[in-house]
Structure 1
Amino acid sequence: MNKNVTSRQELIDTAMEIARTEGIHKVNIRNIARKCSISVGVLYNYFPNKTELIFAVVNSFWADVIQNLSGMVPQSTCFPQFVSQYYAMINEQLSEFEKDWLTQLETMPPEDKKRGRELEDQCFQVLLDVLRKALHRDTSISESVWSEEYTQEEFLQFVFHHLIVLLHAGHKNCDFFEKTLRKILY
């Protein structure tokens, strides 16, 4: 157990692997220390408690999603088609984890949930920006679709909210939602 850990990232990567293969409920200080062949005390130098470790795992997960989405080459400028591609990519990455890992995170104490929601909101703003750019790329959408009562921003919030609902519900795709977006936009 005298191995030197090369980085905090190595610990996060190990935690991510445990979350993928065994479920997020198996991510804990002892399991990671054992897998990295280090003492528990060394791990506490990087993460003062399990909650900090879980936040690091979740943050790393969303950073990976954002990186993959940012590098995604749209198959077309069609916004509804992009939404399907976007959904498929996020859903694929979520499927690497135990299905109910998002639900397991809901069992955190209230003060940790608050912090978790703040981190989640930061990630979600970046994800919304990806959708915003895709919406602006679609020149087939008539400007007459938008008004003071029906803004692009509210529409984007609606789209994002429903994608999250579909992900939580475990839908394999968002085909019907894509059709709905086509009806609204064109």
Structure 2
Amino acid sequence: MNKNVTSRQELIDAAMEIARTEGIHKVNIRNIARKCSISVGVLYNYFPNKTELIFAVVDSFWADVIHSLSGINPRTVCFTKFVSQFYAVINEQLSEFERDWLTQLETMPPEDKKRGRELENECFQVLLELLRKALQRDTSIPASVWSEEYTQEEFLQFVFHHLIVLLHSGHKNCDFFEKTLQKILY
């Protein structure tokens, strides 16, 4: 175990690989040290505890998702097609992990859950912004769809909430949801 280390990113990549192949519950200091051929002590220089490591893995996961989503051009597809592609990208990324990895994070102590929720909310705001831009760029949606009682922002919250529910439920696609959005918008 005398390898010259490494970078924080290399450690996160190793943790991501373990999470993908063995499950997030197998991500721990010892397993990552073993995978990177370093001592446990070296790893503690980068992550003071397992919780910090898990947060780094989750943050890296969402960064990968957001990067993948940036490949979808909302200018070339209508909003409902964008939603379908958006869902497919996130679903594909999630499928690399155990289906219940988000649930496993719920076992963290309350103070860590709070911090985890804050990190999650930051990522979700970025995802919502992608949806917002796609909705605003879809010129085929009649302006009459929106009103003070039925705003774009509330609609986006509705769409995002239901996408998360579908992801948690393990649906392979959001075809029915896409059809529902088409009936609402067009």
User: Do residues 2 (structure 1) and 40 (structure 2) align?
Assistant: no
Q: For each residue in 1:121-177, what CA deviation from the matched residue of structure 2 results, as whole angstroms up to 9, or x when unmatched? A: 000000001101110111010111111111101100100000000000000000010
Q: For each residue in 1:53-83, what CA deviation from the matched residue of structure 2 results, as whole angstroms up to 9, or x when unmatched? A: 0000000000000011112235943111110
**Structure 1 CA distance for aligned equivalents of residues 3 and 163 of structure 2:** 43
Match of 2:90 in 1: 90
Match of 1:28 in 2: 28
Query: Once the 2 structures are TM-superposed, how far is the Cα of residue 5 of structure 1 from its aligned partner?
Result: 1.4
Gaps of 5+ in 1: none
Match of 2:153 in 1: 153
Match of 1:130 in 2: 130
Query: Once the 2 structures are TM-superposed, how far is the Cα of residue 18 of structure 1 from its aligned partner?
Result: 0.1
- Secondary structure, counterpart of 2:43 in structure 1: helix
Alignment of structure 1 residues 45-84 onto 2, 5 Å: 45-74=45-74, 76-84=76-84
Match of 1:168 in 2: 168
Residues matched between the structures, number: 186
| TM-score, normalised relative to structure 2 | 0.98
- Quick one: structure 1 residues 24 and 41, their matched pair in 2 at CA, closer, same or farther if it must change by over 3 Å? same
- Secondary structure, counterpart of 1:106 in structure 2: helix
Given that 1:75 and 1:82 are in contact with CA atoms closer than 8 Å, whether structure 2 keeps it comes out as: no
Q: Runs ≥4 in structure 1, deviation > 4 angstroms?
A: none
Gaps of 5+ in 2: none
| TM-score, normalised relative to structure 1 | 0.98
User: Do residues 106 (structure 1) and 99 (structure 2) align?
Assistant: no
Query: Once the 2 structures are TM-superposed, how far is the Cα of residue 43 of structure 1 from its aligned partner?
Result: 0.4
Given that 2:74 and 2:133 are in contact with CA atoms closer than 8 Å, whether structure 1 keeps it comes out as: no
Match of 1:141 in 2: 141
Given that 2:74 and 2:137 are in contact with CA atoms closer than 8 Å, whether structure 1 keeps it comes out as: no
